[in-house]
Amino acid sequence: MGIIVQKFGGTSVANAEKIRKAAELVIKTVKNGSSVVVVASARGKQTDGLVADALELNPNPPEREMDQLLSTGEQQTVSLFAMALQAMGYDAISFTGSQIRMVTDSVHTKARIKSIGADIIHKQLDQGKVVLVAGFQGVDEHDNITTLGRGGSDTSAVALAAALGADECEIYTDVDGIYTTDPRIFKQASKMEQISYDEMLEMASLGAGVMHSRAIEFGKKYDVKIHVRSSSEETEGTIITHEVPKMEGIVVSGATVQKNMAKITLVGIDNNPGNAAKVFAHLAKAKVVVNDIVQTEVSTEKANLSFTVGTADLTAAQKAAEQIKDEVGCDNIFIREDIAEISVVGVGMRTHYGVADTMFGTLAKAKINIDSITTSEIRISCIVDKDQADEALRTVCIAFELDKPAEKRS
């Protein structure tokens, strides 16, 4: 009998009624003949409430104690979920991360999974029980509770699916799948039937936000079929899977826009080998996450070095840049906060030409100025003015026919 892992996020278990709805989805899967392992997050705003409680007592709470505190939210959900299933006539048992030996390293608040006690879960499934596992949490080798960081419950679910050899990992959420782009901006956006891990990673890191990158990386590493679907609608969602030949025919799978970013330019740094490395080592020390980097020579002696950061990191990045400025011979630091990044993603780009052409031509025709361009093997990104971002996204979506299902594009 196959195993299916089903993950329910905080909004899908926010209250008794929603927990019962989620339990019905579990029962439906059990009736279809699968063994089910449920991974659940903390209910609704419970985690926010606990964080506020902590900050009231300590503006800089110790991370070990934060993990000890926050892990209770998921523990509550899974025990309540088990009670709901039992009330509906299905045997169920809940486990904390510690109880199923979800062993992680000791990096509190962003621990990485090392091993899972799959035998503990198999034993319960073999007895015909639904097994519920508290998401987001693990335990280190010294029995300290750890948490996996943002999107941790997705990671728990995918890791469990891998460890258990599950047929599928279903991620239940408040959207019914992954769209070619953000439907709030381009309302004709089309739901994708499937998407490759690599494309989804580019989409996720660019802010599509349905699933956290780490969970997708895990899925890619262990080849877990991930199914993103709605907890309120019965329709099929989107499958995230390994790349299949059919996908190569699709040149552009999706498009994204990222608005919470800023660009920092170090104007006129000395054009010496190692200067860029110095700058980024200094930024790393200041814990700034750098996105795209562009370096352009302005003369044989001088170059301009630009990079983008999330607006949350801007103050730290600016401070770090000021500190390193003189050492790399920089004349001036220039900051733009009025920018946004438009990207198109598709594994088909590896084998198809002309994507960049179409993108730049389309933006030019719409009189949208491109500040700079970065690319990866399966992605092209353009920095544009923030107030033209939505228009730019829509223009690009129409050019690549992202309002149509993949098989109907010309």
Cβ of 266: how many Cβ atoms within 10 Å?
24
- Return the residue of 33, 59, 245, 273 that touches a copy of itself, per CB under 8 A: 59
Q: Does 96 bind a copy of itself (CB under 8 A)?
A: yes
Minimum CB distance to a copy of itself, residue 109 (Å): 13
Number of residues this chain uses to bind a copy of itself (CB under 8 A) = 38
Minimum CB distance to a copy of itself, residue 76 (Å): 5
For residue 266, give every residue at least 6 positions away whose Cβ sits within 8 Å of its Cβ, in sequence order, or none.
279, 304, 305, 306, 321, 325, 328, 330, 333
Q: Does 12 bind a copy of itself (CB under 8 A)?
A: no
- Return the residue of 11, 99, 318, 375 that touches a copy of itself, per CB under 8 A: 99
Buried b (16+ CB within 10 A) or exposed e, 38-61: bbbbbbbebbeebeeebeeeeeee
Residues 143-172 that bind a copy of itself (CB under 8 A): 143-145
Token output for 248: 């190569």
Minimum CB distance to a copy of itself, residue 235 (Å): 27
Token output for 372: 């700079």
94 vs 271 by CB, closer to a copy of itself: 94
Q: Does 339 bind a copy of itself (CB under 8 A)?
A: no
For residue 219, give every residue at least 6 positions away whose Cβ sits within 8 Å of its Cβ, in sequence order, or none.
158, 161, 162, 169, 197, 225, 226, 240
Strand residues in 105-175 grouped as ranges (E): 113-115, 130-134, 137-139, 145-147, 168-173
- Return the residue of 2, 24, 48, 53 that touches a copy of itself, per CB under 8 A: 53
d(CA 352, CA 356): 10
83 vs 316 by CB, closer to a copy of itself: 83
- Return the residue of 83, 118, 370, 373 that touches a copy of itself, per CB under 8 A: 83
- Return the residue of 2, 48, 58, 322 that touches a copy of itself, per CB under 8 A: 58
Burial of 128 (0-12, 13-18, 19+ CB in 10 A): exposed
**Interface contacts to a copy of itself, rule CB under 8 A:** 16, 19-20, 50, 53-54, 56-62, 64-66, 68-69, 71-72, 75-76, 78-80, 82-84, 86-87, 93-94, 96, 98-99, 143-145
